Structure 1
Amino acid sequence: MEELILISAVVACPSHPDTPLVEDYHAGDMICPECGLVVGDRVIDVGSEWRTFSNEKNAKDASRVGAAENTLLEGGDLSTMIAVGPGDRALDDNGRSIYKNRRQVSSSDRALLNAFREISQMAERLNLPHMIVERANTLFKQVHEGKSLKGRSNDAIASACLYIACRQEGVPRTFKEICAVSKISKKEIGRVFKLILKNLETNVELITTGDFMSRFCSNLGLHQSVQKAATFIAKKAVDLDLVSGRSPISVAAAAIYMASQASDDKKSAKDIGDIAGVAEVTIRQSYKQMYPKAHTLFPEDFKFVTPIEQLPPP
């Protein structure tokens, strides 16, 4: 590209020196658009190289280089087998031999490709970054090569790998969120998740209430001040050991419920449960444990619309 810029800077049309030249990459010429004069040649073609192996006259040419090599696949050497058809079908209209380009894919690579495609589709529905997809693909390949989860469906393993990848990359998703974009039940994903951790001897970071707070509040359309208060309430409740035995997700949901009820943007436990993937009764149970200490849970600068004394009873 630097060479092209240099050429266009020193070459100009004698009749129209101020007119920008048009670069014809296919012909390798630089042309004056005013008079059509070719004022430069041998321009480097920076476009794709194309080559066809197809014998259909009306078929479009396919790219010669193809997609990027996937290092997770065994057949990543792009090896090709040329096969000739039998009988008259081996000759075209002019009597020349017809060759067909066939790529052999092993059953192992086929299983990996299907799993990688499933992981990519789930990640796309969840708007997850590509680095999480790569980590999930690597985890799936490790499980696949270890052959320690025989009898489990590849879709279940792919879903569990995506869940683990999210946890390891610091952007955890709930089992319900993974289940919503998967074909597998929440219970089965949980089982496979535990098996993968056991067999790969890997671990995941413990999830906290703060991992979900921003996303839950954003999906509920809550103001930043409510999110800040809910984050403070959840952390304080954990520090005071008020919600022992409760999952971080249910504690986060209960904290959002308490903060929203004290603000002018009140959300019901059902609305919060639908977003957080937690049952309404579970939120109320966590809220019940936090309610007696509500006056110590709110940040000092929180502006109450509903006083603590008037918060809904558990």
Structure 2
Amino acid sequence: MVLEIINADSICKRCGKNSMLTDNDTGERFCGKCGYVISEELQDSGPEWRSFSKEGGTDPTRTGPPTSLAMHDRGLATIISSSNRDSSGKPLSSSMKSTIERLRTWDSRSKVNASADRNLRQALTGLAMLKDKLSLSDSVIEKAAYLYRKALEKGLVRGRSITGIIAASLYAACRDTETPRNLKDVAEAANVNKKDISRCYRILHKELELKMPVVDPVQCIARIASKLRITEKSKRYACKILQTAQEHDGLAGKDPMGLAAAALYMSCVIHCEDRTQRDVAEAANVTEVTIRNRYKGLRTNQD
């Protein structure tokens, strides 16, 4: 048993002596003179995070969870619990219940005091639903929320569909982070017309001066291959096909998902894997005509 003196200025409530000890094994805190137990559980009062200063040292600070742009209030607001119990766990009286209910109502109303705030809350709620449908990471959602907030500040949302703008922001975030999600995937998840998302995306691209990187079709191969359960050998050969076509400038202006699907289909044909054009087209969410056209171009580059 290891005994350690803590809080030397604390005084025992029973004997009045200044000799408080703590047991690091059991977590009990008690008086070293009379043995009176103050608490049975030891709570860590140390810092949770460390913030590094400019001078090179560390500054221990105790803080809460990080803020997030994907939340309406960035995670800074407090919420009144829905459980009708006090701090000690006892149920509230009937008069206090009605008082707390009124406080909850005014608390929720005070958080949204403008049309822009209501707009933002509705948009970010829809963004959270799209995250689950498309299986996206937190970094993509943070980028999409940032783009939507910028569009809201510039007044680009006024007169347009909130769902269309948030879907266009999400598609722009996917392109910026090189996440393999095409426009058709976002349109189906958001239940919005593909043309509406394209129109909103062009507005965001122009007004916010976005610079999008060119999507590498090699990154789309893993997604299609996992759906079709294609072997690793065929996947690597498909990547080799795309790299060869890229050296001959045969990928310029082509849909990356269609190129990846055509390369996988060619690799399956070479390695005698039973995958039809329809199977690959459904997995890649493209048409069979697209696969045939891209297949001809890739065959030309291979020859």
- Same-fold call, TM > 0.5? yes
What's 1:223 paired with? Answer: 231
Give the one of 158, 164, 169 matched to 2:166: 158
Q: State how 1:34-53 maps to structure 2 within 5 Å.
A: 39-41=37-39, 43=41
What's 1:312 paired with? Answer: none
What's 2:206 paired with? Answer: 198
What's 2:271 paired with? Answer: 263
CA distance in 2 between partners of 1:96 and 1:256 (Å): 63
Structure 2 gaps of 5+ residues are 8-20, 45-63, 80-92
Question: Are residues 1:123 and 2:131 paired?
Answer: yes
Q: CA deviation at 1:225?
A: 1.1
CA distance in 2 between partners of 1:210 and 1:95 (Å): 62
CA distance in 2 between partners of 1:93 and 1:190 (Å): 54
What's 2:84 paired with? Answer: none
> TM-score by structure 1 length?
0.66
> TM-score by structure 2 length?
0.68
What's 2:194 paired with? Answer: 186
What's 2:47 paired with? Answer: none
Judge conservation of contact 2:29–2:42 (CA < 8 Å) in 1.
no
Structure 1 gaps of 5+ residues are 13-19, 31-36, 47-65, 81-91, 297-314
State the AA in 2 paired with 1:192. C
> Over residues 158-177 of structure 1, what are the superposed CA-to-partner deviations in whole Å (9 max), with x where a residue is unaligned?
11111111121222311122
Q: CA deviation at 1:74?
A: 7.1
Q: CA deviation at 1:206?
A: 0.9
Give the one of 274, 286, 297 matched to 2:294: 286
Q: CA deviation at 1:229?
A: 0.7
Judge conservation of contact 1:209–1:235 (CA < 8 Å) in 2.
no
Q: CA deviation at 1:243?
A: 5.2
SS in 1 for 2:266: helix
SS in 1 for 2:124: helix
* Shift in alpha-carbon separation, 1:141–1:292, aligned structure 2, 3 A: closer
Q: State how 1:236-275 maps to structure 2 within 5 Å.
A: 236-242=244-250, 245-275=253-283
SS in 1 for 2:190: coil
SS in 2 for 1:181: helix
Q: State how 1:55-134 maps to structure 2 within 5 Å.
A: 73=72, 78=77, 98=99, 100-101=102-103, 102-103=106-107, 104=110, 105-106=112-113, 107-134=115-142
CA distance in 2 between partners of 1:116 and 1:96 (Å): 31
Q: CA deviation at 1:41?
A: 2.0
What's 1:138 paired with? Answer: 146
> Over residues 113-154 of structure 1, what are the superposed CA-to-partner deviations in whole Å (9 max), with x where a residue is unaligned?
111111121112222111111111111111111112432211
CA distance in 2 between partners of 1:44 and 1:10 (Å): 8
Question: Are residues 1:11 and 2:19 paired?
Answer: no
What's 2:52 paired with? Answer: none
Q: CA RMSD in A?
A: 3.7
CA distance in 1 between partners of 2:244 and 2:194 (Å): 30
CA distance in 1 between partners of 2:74 and 2:299 (Å): 60
Judge conservation of contact 2:67–2:74 (CA < 8 Å) in 1.
no
CA distance in 1 between partners of 2:96 and 2:288 (Å): 75
